[in-house]
Amino acid sequence: MKKTILTTVMITALFINCKDSQDKSNVSTNVESTETIHESVHEDDKMVLNNSWVTEIQLNSGNKWEANIETTEGVENMLELIKENNYKSVGDYHQLASKLNDEKNYVVKECTMTGPSHDNLHVFLHPLIKKIDALGNVNSVENGKVTIKSIKENLDGYYTYFK
């Protein structure tokens, strides 16, 4: 009887120990995965905030593309929103992102451009859309400032390629 109890206790202890080591292994793997995701998010933020789109966009045989008035008005309105510069909290940046998104939606909805000018407008707009989304997800005032700076550079670039 003692042997049976002792054997049962030892087997139980062995299974508990194995389960604990598996749990520890899972925790370690989860921590590593979380760190990898965190690093990946920072890399994604850097990619979103860069202005590599200027290497993809083209001029119209050395001239600016003709844009419809609504597109130019939308860009001007977005620049005005940024110039207000009263952003002191993460919530302020999120509100700005919402307003910028409304203006961006206006530009997209009212666009009447076609052909190569329209294609190049998309080269300009695609990173701007990502930057506005990033601004809506900032988690610090410092990130908000950096993101606004990148958005402003993107918007200022509009006048290099469109009239």
What percent of the residues of the chain are helix, what percent strand, and what percent coil, each to the nearest 5? 80, 0, 20
pLDDT value at residue 20: 46
pLDDT tens by residue, 10-64? 555 544 544 444 444 444 444 443 343 333 344 455 567 877 787 889 999 999 9
Would you state the pLDDT for residue 129?
97
pLDDT of amino acid 3 = 56
Q: Given 1.10.15, 1.20.120, 1.25.40, 2.60.40, which CATH number is that of 50-161?
A: 1.20.120
* CA pair distance 144, 135, nearest whole angstrom: 6
Tokens of 154: 């993107």
- The structural domains of the chain, with segments of one domain joined by +, span 50-161
What pLDDT, on a 0 to 100 scale, did the predictor assign at position 48?
A: 74
Q: Output the six-digit token pair for 33.
A: 């995965």
Which pLDDT value is given to residue 23?
46
